[in-house]
Homo-oligomer: A and B are copies of this chain.
Amino acid sequence: MKPTIYDVAREAGVSIATVSKVINNQQVGKKSKEKVLKAMKELNYKPSILASALTGKPTSTIGFLLPDLANPFVAEVARRVEDRAHERGYNLVICSTDFNPEKEALYISLLRQKSVDGFILAGSFKNVEVLRELLEEHIPVVLLTEFYPSLSVNSVKVDDFIGGYEVASHLISLGHQKIAVIAEEANSSRERIRGYKQALRDHGLDMDDEMIVTSDSSTEDAERLAGELLDRSDPPTAIFACNDLLAISVFLAARERKLSIPDDLSVAGYDNTLLSRSTDPPLTTVAQPIQEMCSQAVDFLIEEIEGKSKIKQRIVMSPQLMIRKSTGVCRLEK
């Protein structure tokens, strides 16, 4: 059997209370402390976090919900969040929600039963009801990569509006007039589109909602949509994909149609994942300061958990346009 605090107490010849105190670094006489420490070593004793959590102590565990680990951007976010959490002495329980509000509710409920100390909700968290509930019950939460303007909740994200604006401006400056967008069903995409529209407006270009298509989150669907875009009688000369994964689908659709990038078609992505380095030509995309965002989100959450801060904050970081070779001067201009 695993040793318990009783075993240690017996071995050390003190009471369990004393053992508890040395575990928690409380005032204990030097001699007793030594005896206890020695006993703990000898028995290879490790306190049960369960038992201590039952008495009200936090579990040092964070629930982390994300839409889908298969997206490299999300995977990297997970990686960074995990790193920071471990640095700060917390564990992460990860759940993929697949953009599904019921799963979101389910996992949150489950994790609460397991007494996680707080939640980080990454990507597009859809179930506002559940989120509101968490806030009402003062469960520590931070939103990563997204805001809910109507709710007071700690959030960290990158300015998607600006990102979209910059991509579109870049494309426009290359002479493109017909710029399509392929998005996913998420707030971040909506913001990027807002930025894109603003850029068009600022440059006096026509807006055409037909040019904006939304994919469910599968690769096949995205490729199909991209293909449809390219097969139009009046196809776009540039496509802004709201993430790199979507951009790959555009590449694939273009390749199938023997379109050369960037000569026949300019493509821009978003997220600066390793995918954007692997394509040929390398993908113009938007970099987000992933590590900073993630560290910040974890730190926010831990502050809230440890009760150090009562005020809610929102941090918006700046994206950075990475111009590579997948975008070029519009062929119609040449």
Residues of chain A whose beta carbon lies under 8 Å from any beta carbon of chain B: 46-51, 53-54, 59, 61, 68-70, 72, 75-76, 78-79, 82-83, 86, 91-96, 109-115, 219, 245, 248, 251-252, 255, 274-275, 277-280
Query: Which residue of B79, B91, B95 is within 8 Å of A111 (Cβ)?
Result: B91
Query: Which residue of B50, B69, B114 is within 8 Å of A54 (Cβ)?
Result: B50
Q: A46 contacts B109, CB within 8 Å? A: yes
Alpha-carbon distance between A255 and B324 when the two chains are bound, in angstroms: 14
Q: A82 contacts B95, CB within 8 Å? A: yes
Number of copies: 2
Alpha-carbon distance between A76 and B78 when the two chains are bound, in angstroms: 13
Q: A83 contacts B70, CB within 8 Å? A: no
Alpha-carbon distance between A92 and B111 when the two chains are bound, in angstroms: 11
Pairs of residues from A and B, 4 with the lowest C-beta to C-beta distance, nearest first: A280-B280, A75-B75, A69-B79, A248-B278
Question: Main SS of the interface on chain A?
Answer: helix
Contacts of A53 in B (CB 8 A): 50
Q: Which residue of B lies closest to A261 (CB)?
A: B280
Can you list 29 A-B contacts with CB-CB less than 8 angstroms, sorted by A residue number? A46-B109, A47-B113, A48-B115, A49-B113, A49-B114, A50-B114, A51-B54, A59-B114, A61-B114, A69-B76, A70-B72, A70-B75, A70-B79, A72-B75, A72-B274, A79-B96, A82-B95, A86-B95, A91-B95, A92-B93, A92-B94, A93-B93, A94-B94, A248-B274, A275-B278, A278-B278, A279-B279, A279-B280, A280-B280
